[in-house]
Amino acid sequence: RRRAPGRRAHGPGDRGCCLYTHGGVSQYRGQSPVNQLHRCQLDSGVWTDLTTPESPALSGHASLTVANRYLLLLGGWDGRQRTSGLSCYDTAECRWICVGLQPGNFPRGAGLSGHTATAVATAANAGGRRKSVGGGDVRTGSDNFAALLIGREGSLRTQRRSGNAFLLSGRASRPATSEYAEPGIVVGSRSGHATVGDSSGGRLVVTG
């Protein structure tokens, strides 16, 4: 097909010359998320449906590409409640990977939607280089990752008006354990915003 699937509140991702879109809401004024995963070959503009039964139904989630291979889906609305869950798709082998997740410092009974996830390069996943933020992608060749999540954490059905930030770190390539931690920064209450790192890799700009 040469037309992009119509979606809102979906999760985008990229791998080289391919663009991926996952989930979102397909119906006008609808609330139920879909589980569809599509890939677009940017050189030809051809879309391919990669949906399998293992694909999670989500909207309002964040996405992150790790090692130019793994597409991570973080949080989102599953049609019943907000979640802090983590899903991983291997774009090289075209399969979903089960990733274990420890709640760590994440509030019990809470979830995220309308948040952002920004790659954070640390000594653990960047070969000992300095910490940096931005780019939305970890292309170091390592499957270790760290992501800074910014947004409102709310109860499973409602969001309270408080801002927060969480650091999620782990490994993407096989069933492994990932864990939430609090990075110790204060952010304003927001959702549906955007984040981008500056060219120096030392600052993160949050807008909206």
Task: Give the residue numbers spanning the domain of 52.
Answer: 11-202
Q: Is residue 60 part of a domain?
A: yes
Q: Is residue 120 part of a domain?
A: yes
Using DSSP bridges, classify how beta strands 137-138 and 110-112 pair: parallel, antiparallel or unpaired: unpaired
- Please name the residue that has the structure tokens 């309002």: 60
Q: Is residue 1 part of a domain?
A: no
pLDDT top residue among 69 and 202: 69
Return the structure tokens found at 181.
């931690």
Residue 170 buriedness (CB in 10 A; 0-12 / 13-18 / 19+): buried
Q: Are 110 and 84 contacting, i.e. CB atoms less than 8 angstroms apart?
A: yes
The 8-class DSSP code of residue 104 comes to T
* pLDDT tier at 3, thresholds 50, 70, 90: low
Q: SS3 sequence, 164-199?
A: EEEEEEEECCCCCEEEEECCCCCCCCCCCCEEEECC
Closest alpha carbon to 159 in 96, 111, 99, 88: 111
Q: Is residue 46 part of a domain?
A: yes
Q: Is residue 6 part of a domain?
A: no
Using DSSP bridges, classify how beta strands 137-138 and 18-22 pair: parallel, antiparallel or unpaired: unpaired
CA distance 114 to 165: 13
Q: Is residue 34 part of a domain?
A: yes
Q: Is residue 86 part of a domain?
A: yes
Q: Is residue 4 part of a domain?
A: no
pLDDT exceeds cutoff 50 at 139? no
Give the mean model confidence (pLDDT) for residues 18-40: 87
The 10 Å Cβ neighbour count of residue 141 is 10
Q: Please tell me the predicted confidence (pLDDT) of residue 71.
A: 92
Q: What is the number of domains present in the chain? A: 1
